[in-house]
Structure formats: C-alpha cells, structure tokens
Amino acid sequence: MIVTTTTKRTIVDMAYEECALAGYEFDVTPEETLTALRRLDSLMAAWQAQSIYIGYNFPPALGEGDLDDPSGIPDVFLDIVVMSLAMRIAPRMGKTISAETRTELAKQMSSLRAQTAIIPERPLARGTPAGSGRRQWWQ
C-alpha cells in the first residue's frame, strides 16, 4: 500500500529547510513559496518527461496549483523530491547545497530511476529458435 500524506506546502517548507532557510527563523515571503511551488511543478513535469512517474498531483496549468493541495507523492519518495527541489531553488537565493546532500541526491536518484523503470515487454520475433528443451505442438 502506497502512503501519501504530504501537502505541497510541506514539500516546499522542507526544501527551504534543506537550503538552511527555515520559515520560522527567516522571512520567506508568499511570493517565494509560490515560486518554489512552480519550480516543484516543473520538476515533476521534467521527471515525467524522463519516464519517472511517482503519482504527483499536477495542477490544471503550471502556477495554478495551491500549496495546500495533496502532493500525491508516496512518502517513501519524499526525501528525494525535497532534495531535488532544494537544488533547484537554492541558487536563486544565493545558497549552496552541501556536498553530503549532493552525494545523497545522486544515490537516491539512481535508486528512484531503478524503482520507477518501465521494462517493456516484447514478444519473440517470428523465426526465433525455441531452444532444445521446448517441444513442438505436433510432437
């Protein structure tokens, strides 16, 4: 069973925390949180273009979403989404992400790609040898 309990606001807040900008310590403006929400929407669209489907709840159009909407992201993928979003919003604030976070992000991205990979099924082509252990229908 896939558990999804996170709102988009939580993801944005966690990304700011990853950038060392906790909302209760620093004044993160509503415009900055909406910009981060748009960046989250574009990040999820980019992942979907790369065939990484994790169930994100897309808005009708980019920038029209609400921070209090459910994200639709399974909780097991929450850290990777937060770190990826932090990587996208940090340079705009003049922040840099730590080397440990970058290393962990690279590890988790390869794991995410493996977990969400779609393996195509192809039937054998006509004339493909069946092998010595397979008996023909007439035998």
Residue 98 lies in a domain: yes
For the CA atoms of 14, 15, 16, 17, what is the dihedral angle to 10 degrees?
A: 50
Residue 3 lies in a domain: no
CATH number of the domain encompassing residue 90: 1.10.3230.20
83 torsion bin: left (phi>0), alpha (psi -120 to 50), beta (else): alpha
Domain boundaries, position 74: 8-115
Measured distance between the N- and C-terminal CA atoms of the chain, rounded to whole angstroms? 46
Q: pLDDT tens for residues 90-107?
A: 888 888 888 888 899 999
Residue 137 lies in a domain: no
Residue 120 lies in a domain: no
Rounded to whole angstroms, how far apart are CA atoms 16 and 38?
14
Considering only CA atoms, which of 81, 113, 87, 114 is closest in space to residue 99?
87
Q: pLDDT tens for residues 47-78?
A: 999 999 999 999 988 878 899 999 999 989 99
pLDDT tier, 36 (very low <50, low <70, confident <90, very high otherwise): very high
Domain count, the chain: 1
Please report where in the chains the tokens 């989404």 appear, as a residue.
Answer: 81
The whole model's pTM is what?
Answer: 0.79
Residue 123 lies in a domain: no
The percentage of residues in the chain with a pLDDT greater than 90, rounded to a whole number, is: 47
- The pLDDT of residue 19 is 83
